[in-house]
C-alpha cells in the first residue's frame, strides 16, 4: 500500500519494505529524515540513527511529536502512511517550479490535426492521438513517478488532478505553512497561566491552574474540530459545485 509513495520519493527498496520488522521500519524512518524531511539538525538525529538502541522508541516518539503527529504512534501502518505523505508533500513543495514548468510545457502542445480533438482541463484543445501529446504525457508521468497506463488520455487526466491537488497556489501555500508550523512546533509561544482568563475563580491555586490548562486544551480541541469541519465543507462544495443532469432520465406526463 506504500509502494507508490516510496517510488515517488525514490526509496531504494520499495518492494522489500516490511514495516512490522524493526530493522526495516527504523531504517525507513532514518532515511526519510535524512533524505526528505530533514526536520532535525544533523547532530540531533543521533537518537534516530541508533536503531539498535533500547531507547529508540523514545527518540522516535519525540520525533513524531516534533513533526506535529497527533495520532496513535503504536500503529505502524498509520505512522508510516503519515510520514510518507508528509515527505511527499515536502518533496513537491521543494520542486514546485520544475514540476509546474513541465506541466505548462505539456499544456502548450499545439494540435497536430482537427480529428479526434478533445477539450482537457487546461482549457486548451489538444489532439490526444498526436505523438507530441503522447510523448509529453509519458515524460510527465515519469517525473511524477506514476505507473504507465494504456490510455494516455486517462493518464493525462490523472496527472492534471495530481497537479491541481499538489501544485496549485493554495496547495503550495498550505504545504509551506504546514512545514513551517512543524519546524516551529516545539518552539511555540508560551502563554503564562496568570494571563489566562478562566471565567471563574477557584480558591485553591493548584486547582485554579489545572482548570486553566484544561480550558486551553479544550479550546485547542475546538479549533482542531472547526478546522476539520471546514475541510469537510470544502470537500462537499467541490463535489456539488458542478452538478450534471442526465436528461435521459426526465419524463413528461404521467
Q: What confidence tens digit (pLDDT) does each residue in 94-149 have?
A: 666 666 666 666 555 544 444 444 444 444 455 667 777 777 888 777 777 777 77
* Rg of the chain over all Cα atoms, to the nearest angstrom: 25
Question: 42 and 116: one domain?
Answer: no
Question: 62 and 88: one domain?
Answer: yes
- To 10 degrees, what angle do helices 56-67 and 76-94 make? 50
- Helix (H, G, I), strand (E, B), or coil: what is residue 215? helix
Domain assignment of residue 174, yes or no: no
Question: 22 and 65: one domain?
Answer: yes
* Burial bucket for residue 34 (CB in 10 Å: 0-12, 13-18, 19+): middle
**pLDDT value at 33 more than 90:** yes
Q: Are 42 and 121 in contact (CB under 8 A)?
A: no
pLDDT on residue 56: 95
Domains in the chain, number: 3
Residue that terminates a domain, selected from 40, 74, 92: 92
Question: 152 and 124: one domain?
Answer: yes
Higher pLDDT, 80 or 252: 80
Domain assignment of residue 139, yes or no: yes
Q: Are 113 and 94 in contact (CB under 8 A)?
A: no
- Quick one: which H or E segment has residue 82? helix 76-94
Question: 23 and 85: one domain?
Answer: yes
Domain assignment of residue 152, yes or no: yes
Question: 12 and 80: one domain?
Answer: yes
Lowest mean pLDDT among 11-15, 129-133, 168-172, 249-253: 249-253
Name the phi and psi angles at 39, rounded to 5.
-75, -40
Question: 57 and 133: one domain?
Answer: no
Domain assignment of residue 173, yes or no: no
Residue that terminates a domain, selected from 57, 92, 127: 92
pLDDT on residue 120: 42
Question: 205 and 136: one domain?
Answer: no
What is the greatest pairwise CA distance in the chain? 84
Range of the domain at 22: 3-92
Question: 38 and 104: one domain?
Answer: no
pLDDT on residue 190: 62
Report the phi/psi class of residue 43: left, alpha or beta, with left for phi > 0 and alpha for psi in -120 to 50: alpha
Structure-derived torsion over alpha carbons of residues 56, 61, 65, 66, reported in degrees to the nearest 10:
10
**pLDDT value at 250 more than 50:** yes
Domain assignment of residue 106, yes or no: yes
**pLDDT value at 189 more than 60:** no
- Helix (H, G, I), strand (E, B), or coil: what is residue 104? helix
Question: 133 and 100: one domain?
Answer: yes
Provide, rounded to the nearest whole percent, the portion of the chain with pLDDT above 70: 65
Domain assignment of residue 147, yes or no: yes
Question: 101 and 117: one domain?
Answer: yes
* Burial bucket for residue 32 (CB in 10 Å: 0-12, 13-18, 19+): buried
Report the phi/psi class of residue 116: left, alpha or beta, with left for phi > 0 and alpha for psi in -120 to 50: left
Q: Are 36 and 91 in contact (CB under 8 A)?
A: yes
- Residue 69 C-beta-side C-alpha neighbours within 13 Å: 25
Domain assignment of residue 100, yes or no: yes
Residue that terminates a domain, selected from 92, 121, 152: 92
Question: 150 and 230: one domain?
Answer: no
Q: What confidence tens digit (pLDDT) does each residue in 46-96 have?
A: 999 999 999 999 999 999 999 999 888 888 999 998 999 888 888 777 666
Grid cell 501529446 — which residue?
133
Domain assignment of residue 252, yes or no: no
Q: If you average pLDDT over every residue of the chain, what do you get?
A: 75
pLDDT on residue 240: 64
Q: What confidence tens digit (pLDDT) does each residue in 212-245 have?
A: 777 777 777 888 888 888 878 877 776 666 555 5
Amino acid at each position: 500500500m506504500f509502494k507508490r509513495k516510496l517510488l515517488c520519493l525514490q526509496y531504494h527498496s520499495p518492494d522489500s519494505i516490511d514495516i512490522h520488522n524493526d530493522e526495516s521500519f527504523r531504517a525507513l524512518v532514518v532515511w526519510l529524515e535524512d533524505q526528505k524531511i530533514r526536520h532535525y539538525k544533523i547532530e540531533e538525529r543521533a537518537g534516530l540513527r541508533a536503531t539498535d538502541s533500547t531507547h529508540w522508541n523514545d527518540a522516535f516518539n519525540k520525533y513524531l511529536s516534533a513533526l506535529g503527529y497527533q495520532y496513535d504512534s503504536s500503529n505502524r501502518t498509520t505512522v508510516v502512511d503519515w510520514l510518507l505523505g508528509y515527505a511527499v508533500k515536502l518533496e513537491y513543495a521543494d520542486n514546485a517550479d520544475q514540476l509546474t514548468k513541465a506541466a505548462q510545457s505539456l499544456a502548450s502542445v499545439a494540435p497536430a490535426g482537427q480529428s479526434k480533438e478533445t477539450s482537457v482541463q487546461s482549457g486548451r484543445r489538444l489532439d490526444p492521438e498526436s505523438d507530441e501529446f503522447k510523448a509529453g504525457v509519458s515524460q510527465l508521468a515519469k517525473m511524477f513517478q506514476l505507473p504507465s497506463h494504456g490510455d494516455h488520455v486517462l493518464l493525462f487526466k490523472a496527472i492534471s488532478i495530481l497537479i491541481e491537488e499538489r501544485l496549485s497556489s493554495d496547495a503550495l501555500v498550505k504545504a509551506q505553512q504546514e512545514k513551517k508550523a512543524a519546524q516551529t512546533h516545539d518552539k511555540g509561544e508560551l502563554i503564562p497561566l496568570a494571563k489566562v482568563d478562566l471565567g471563574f475563580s477557584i480558591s485553591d491555586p493548584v486547582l485554579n491552574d489545572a482548570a486553566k490548562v484544561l480550558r486551553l486544551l479544550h479550546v485547542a480541541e475546538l479549533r482542531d474540530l472547526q478546522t476539520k469541519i471546514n475541510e469537510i465543507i470544502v470537500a462537499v462544495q467541490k463535489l456539488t459545485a458542478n452538478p450534471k443532469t442526465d436528461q435521459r432520465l426526465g419524463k413528461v406526463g404521467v
